[in-house]
Amino acid sequence: MTDEKTSINDARRKRFEKNPIKGTKFTIAISSAKGGVGKSTFATNLALALKNLNLKIGLLDADIYGPSLPKLFAINQKPENKEGKLIPVNKYNIQCMSMGFLTEEQTPMIWRGPMVTSAIKTFAQKVEWKDLDFIIVDMPPGTGDTQLTFAQEIKMDGVIIVSTPQELALQDVKRGIAMFDKLNVNIIGLVDNMSFFLGDDGKKYRIFGEGGVKRTSEEFKKKFLGEIPINSEVGKFGDLGKPIVQSMPDHEISKIYANFAEQVKSIYL
């Protein structure tokens, strides 16, 4: 190879070299190509379930346009700024950071491109996480520029893709899988959220269709991590700012999350 080619390749590699987040052993992203499938609900409850395994956990709400963590964890505190670094807000013994801590709730999120990029860089490099086993990153929905920038700026050790069983959601999931594969981010597996409703008669009602997420994981040779039923208590406790895993650790849904947490732990630790 010519010298010129070598240096072009070096420059290219540098550009795509990702910096790991400091202060954590592993960074796990929670992604879904679509919004409203329960990604933030999953990210918060998984973080709490991992904490219950005596691990030290951080939670980065990376949804810049629609942050959820202030509401889901009832945080209305601004993070301290120490020597140019943001100190995460501690809640439920989890180190938390969100764009929502930095802006007023009412402020419309009309960010221009460069501002979004700089926000992502701040999250990746200027937050003082401390001695964590895992940071769980609640990714913004979609496979657009923001996700690309995230995936390029933040070195992720794995990603969990959350979907609901509708065909429309699955189409986007396939795009998401393609994106992470292309970026060489390890896909831990797929989760089927709101997969069925358990009736009083004990029957499972598959309101949004049957087995689509599992089929998609088989099609793309990814692991299927499990299903979470539709349960109104999930939304209720989220709205109260104390997710179900924290409020009702023995609830059937909390047990499902404990299983996801065990799966994640056993892969990395």
Ligand X SMILES: Nc1ncnc2c1ncn2[C@@H]1O[C@H](COP(=O)(O)OP(=O)(O)O)[C@@H](O)[C@H]1O
Q: Is 235 in the site for ligand X (CB under 6 A)?
A: yes
Q: Is 35 in the site for ligand X (CB under 6 A)?
A: yes
Buried residues in 83-98 as b, exposed as e (16+ CB within 10 A)? eeebebbebbebbbbb
Q: Is 240 in the site for ligand X (CB under 6 A)?
A: no
Work out which of 137, 194, 244, 264 binds ligand X, going by CB under 6 A.
Answer: 194
Would you say 65 or 268 has its CB closer to ligand X?
65
Work out which of 24, 40, 95, 143 binds Mg ion, going by CB under 5 A.
Answer: 40
- Maximal C-alpha separation, the chain: 72
Would you say 74 or 230 has its CB closer to ligand X?
230
Q: Is 242 in the site for ligand X (CB under 6 A)?
A: no
Q: Which stretch binds Mg ion (CB under 5 A): 63-71, 165-173, 192-200, 250-258?
A: 63-71
CA 43/CA 63 separation, integer angstroms: 12
Nearest to 238 by CA among 10, 51, 71: 71
Residue 151, helix vs strand vs coil: helix
Q: Is 68 in the site for Mg ion (CB under 5 A)?
A: yes
Residue closest to Mg ion, measured at CB: 40
Would you say 169 or 185 has its CB closer to ligand X?
169
CA 77/CA 260 separation, integer angstroms: 30
Work out which of 7, 36, 181, 205 binds ligand X, going by CB under 6 A.
Answer: 36
Tell me how far apart the terminal alpha carbons of the chain are, to the nearest angstrom: 41
Place of tokens 């998401």: 176
CA 183/CA 177 separation, integer angstroms: 10
CA 178/CA 120 separation, integer angstroms: 22
Q: To the nearest whole angstrom, how small is the minimum distance from the Cβ of residue 7 to ligand X?
A: 43
Work out which of 32, 95, 147, 149 binds ligand X, going by CB under 6 A.
Answer: 32
CA 99/CA 65 separation, integer angstroms: 8
Q: Is 147 in the site for ligand X (CB under 6 A)?
A: no
Q: To the nearest whole angstrom, how small is the minimum distance from the Cβ of residue 3 to ligand X?
A: 48
Site residues (vs ligand X, CB under 6 A):
32, 35-41, 68, 193-194, 228, 230-231, 234-235, 238
